[in-house]
Amino acid sequence: MHKVTTRIMVNGVMSSDINVMDRGFQYGDGLFETMVIVNGVLPLWEKHWQRLKRGCEILSIELPDKSKVEHDISTFIQDIPRGIIKLIVTRGIGGRGYAVSESLKPEVVLIHSEFPNYPEHNWQEGITARLCCTRLSLQPALAGIKHLNRLEQVLARNEWRDAEIVEGIMLDIQGHVIEGTMTNLFIMKNDKVITPDINQCGVAGVMRETVLDLLEQENIPHEIKTVSQNDLGSADEVFLTNSVIGIWPVMKIDDTVYQVGEVTKTLQNKINKIINHA
Amino acid sequence: MHKVTTRIMVNGVMSSDINVMDRGFQYGDGLFETMVIVNGVLPLWEKHWQRLKRGCEILSIELPDKSKVEHDISTFIQDIPRGIIKLIVTRGIGGRGYAVSESLKPEVVLIHSEFPNYPEHNWQEGITARLCCTRLSLQPALAGIKHLNRLEQVLARNEWRDAEIVEGIMLDIQGHVIEGTMTNLFIMKNDKVITPDINQCGVAGVMRETVLDLLEQENIPHEIKTVSQNDLGSADEVFLTNSVIGIWPVMKIDDTVYQVGEVTKTLQNKINKIINHA
């Protein structure tokens, strides 16, 4: 295994411990953001903050003070030019039971890890993926936000151990194509870029939104809609996105082979500039 | 608020801290059991252990050593004749990402709290409940087990603050009646006791199983099947179960009023003996 140096800050103090009664531990009652550090800053911070804010609204979690969080992050990453920072916000430390007492203060946790040593061919030639057996359940009350209830992703990711397979593609309970275990999915089909609708399940990825913004700016035809397994199988290009990797073309899903297409390359070049991928 | 004395043991040592990298905190990647202590013992321990074991199998979490857990519990509760003990088992302390490295050791957490000061009329006259807006999603891969992804219950329980309302009844995404936020549900209808099927969602409660065993022993007609909102609305008796309360009759769900019936009373008397409720 690649050795990962981890350091952790809890509520502004360097510590690796959280209280057992934290509702994040008890119920997964919280949210997270995984962000890339480029040249000592977080290039997509505003989008991450907006998603966190939306998640806090939906879960009725008190939003932490933004300038305090920004101050903690800048202290935390001051000597880290490049890497990953995970921000976890939980509802706070509560008593027994699901009911929330009104006095809870959110807990803010920062975790640093090194940039993963993904091989360069993931960006160039694309990655090999598989279709997961674990399905995403439909839950409109939680769809889109990045909450701490991630057992579906844990089950899906642990369906395989083959290191050649980099990502698993997940369908929902109805058989629609939604996303990867840690990425959002886009397909190119009939000269249009399509990404699945995530109103019923799935995560509104910050890189997904960045790519959608870019498609809009560049006047590239695109649509958010239901994607069937047939749509995926007959796509001209497939690519995956997240905040850390930017864009990875998909070379193969099980027995279906895809070309790294022009649209994927064009978008990837622009996204690489944002996240400073060489 | 009722003051709750909490004491906590983590992996056999008195402590209130868990590592931030524990997968229970990161992903809700774990299981729990809430158990009642009666005269210094756990009367339903074997059933709790069996459900925990099934949960570990389904999530591929290493099952902790049973005799070690039993030893820790007996040390932990040695001077507590009556109260609640929550056992949490997580997959362990892992690195970044959903993939599980093979070397993870499960974390075992014990939390003691006082027996909640529920009023006696909850058992005698029954409780007032409401139908929740938050629906349970269908996820056969996780149905039945008591895992740490509990955001649906958190959302449902926080739909109301009225202290007169004791429990919320949850439907699944399709509109079938499943359970309460912290209880299982039974109805009496056409001289048969019915409890919802939980193959798609819901928790296989230890008290639910205890009641089903009792119905079998007593030759009381019963069935596990889909329960519609009409079935619930037209039921002759409704009652709720969990390991801590045993059985609470339901007096009212929103505008529908129920009688505390003979079957509920008969079952409650027998269950009260097991959990030593006066």
Task: Say whether pLDDT at B2 is over 50.
Answer: no
Q: How far is residue A114 CA from its own chain's centroid?
A: 17
The closest CB to that of B20, out of A1, A84, A111, belongs to: A111
- The Cα A216–Cα B23 span in angstroms is 38
* Tokens, residue A161: 């151990």
Q: Mark out the alpha helices in chain A (DSSP H runs).
A: 23-27, 45-59, 66-76, 121-124, 151-157, 206-217, 229-233, 262-275
Tokens 């004395």: give the residue.
Answer: B5
* CB < 8 Å to B20, chain A: 8, 10, 15-18, 88, 109, 111
Per-residue pLDDT at B44: 97
Q: How would you list the strands of the sheet with A82-90, edge to edge? A: A13-14, A7-10, A107-113, A82-90, A30-38
Q: How confident is the prediction for chain B on average, in pLDDT?
A: 95
Per-residue pLDDT at B276: 83
Tokens 């978008």: give the residue.
Answer: A267
- The Cα A63–Cα A260 span in angstroms is 41
Residue B85, judged by CB atoms within 10 A of its CB (0-12, 13-18, 19+), counts as buried
Give the three-state DSSP class for B193: strand
The ipTM of this complex is 0.96
The verdict on a CB contact (< 8 Å) between B98 and A152 is no
pLDDT in tens, B184-216: 999 999 999 999 999 999 999 999 999 999 999
- Which neighbouring-strand residues pair with A240? A185, A248
- The Cα A162–Cα B99 span in angstroms is 11
DSSP-assigned letters across all residues of A23-44: HHHHH--EEEEEEEEETTB-TT
Q: At what angle do helices B45-59 and B66-76 cross, to 10 degrees?
A: 130
Nearest CA in chain A to B113: A96
The reply to whether B157 touches chain A by the CB within 8 Å rule is yes
Q: How far is residue A67 CA from its own chain's centroid?
A: 23
Nearest CA in chain A to B90: A25
The verdict on a CB contact (< 8 Å) between B22 and A25 is yes
* Tokens, residue B271: 């269950």
The reply to whether A199 touches chain B by the CB within 8 Å rule is no
- Domain B7-113 maps to which CATH number in 3.30.420.130, 3.30.420.10, 3.30.470.20, 3.30.470.10? 3.30.470.10
Residues 6+ apart with CB under 8 A from A150: A28, B26, B27, B28, B29, B98, B149
The closest of B136, B150, B244, B243 to B197, measured between CA atoms, is B136
Tokens 């694309």: give the residue.
Answer: A126
Per-residue pLDDT at A96: 74
The reply to whether B42 touches chain A by the CB within 8 Å rule is no
Inter-chain contacts counted by CB atoms under 8 A, chains A and B: 187
The verdict on a CB contact (< 8 Å) between B150 and A98 is yes
* CB < 8 Å to A84, chain B: 96
117-156 of B, contacting A, C-beta below 8 A: 134-135, 137-139, 141-142, 147-156
Low-confidence ranges of chain A (pLDDT < 70): 1-5, 278
Task: Say whether pLDDT at B4 is over 50.
Answer: no
Query: pLDDT-derived band of residue B102, with 50, 70 and 90 as boundaries?
Result: confident
Task: Say whether pLDDT at B1 is over 50.
Answer: no
Per-residue pLDDT at A5: 52
Nearest CA in chain B to A181: B98
Domain locations along chain A: 7-113, 121-275
DSSP-assigned letters across all residues of B127-181: EEEEE-SSPBPP-TTTTBS-BS--HHHHHHHTT---TTEEEEEEEBTTS-EEEES
Q: Which CATH superfamily is domain A121-275 in?
A: D-amino Acid Aminotransferase, subunit A, domain 2 (3.20.10.10)
Residues 6+ apart with CB under 8 A from A138: A172, A173, A174, A200, A201, B137, B138, B173
